[in-house]
Every structure is written in C-alpha cells, then in structure tokens.
Amino acid sequence: MTSRGGARRVLGAALAVGALAALGACYDDVKVVQGTVIGAAAERHEVEIRDERPPHATATYRLERPATVAIGDVVRLAFRDRAEGKVVVRLMNLSRHRAQRQMDKE
C-alpha cells in the first residue's frame, strides 16, 4: 500500500506541474492603460488614446466588442499586444462612470 500511495503522490504532483506548465503556455500578458480618447472610428472598431502618464504617448487600440466612447472621455483599457495590433479585452469609461455616480448622489 505504501508504494501505491507514493505512486499516487508522484502522479498527482506530475499532473499539477503539467497543468501549471499548460497555463503558462496559454497565458497572454494583459497590459493596462488609462487616458483620454482623442479619436474614435466606430466602423473600424478603433479608439485612439493619449496616455495620462508621461510622456503622454498616443496609441490606437482595436476593440473586440463595440463600446460607447466619445472624444474627451477618460477610459481605462486592458489590452493584449497581438500581431494585428493592440487588442482591447476590457474597456471602462471612467467619465461615464463618474457622471453616473454624481447623478446617484443627487
């Protein structure tokens, strides 16, 4: 029985290491940027952002899903660098969020 228990532990450890390795291979590094919308092209599903952090770089991001943004809105984007560019996986419109919170207070 002891050799069987030891074999199970070794097998369990091997499976755990394999699962962690598989997760690491599939992991995409998600980056976050916050800034002001300076351009939006709904037909191309793109938004251009000026980063709020120095040196205030601008970049264009591709939206996987439609989002309601307007020039001047402050947004926070979670994105992945892919071959086709910077692809947004999550967008939070901070301007609209703040406006809604202000209306709720009144």
Q: Is the pLDDT of residue 5 over 80?
A: no
How many residues comprise the chain?
106
Q: Letter for the amino acid at 65?
A: R
Q: Is the pLDDT of residue 97 over 80?
A: no
Give the mean model confidence (pLDDT) for residues 13-29.
58
What domains can be seen in the chain, in order of their start residue?
30-105 (2.40.50.320)
The stretches of 1-106 forming alpha helices (DSSP H) are 2-26, 94-105
Q: What confidence tens digit (pLDDT) does each residue in 29-49 have?
A: 999 999 999 999 888 899 999
Q: What distance in Å separates the CA atoms of residue 90 and residue 106, rounded to the nearest whole number?
A: 29
| pLDDT over 90, % of the chain | 49
Two structure tokens written together for 61 = 């991001």
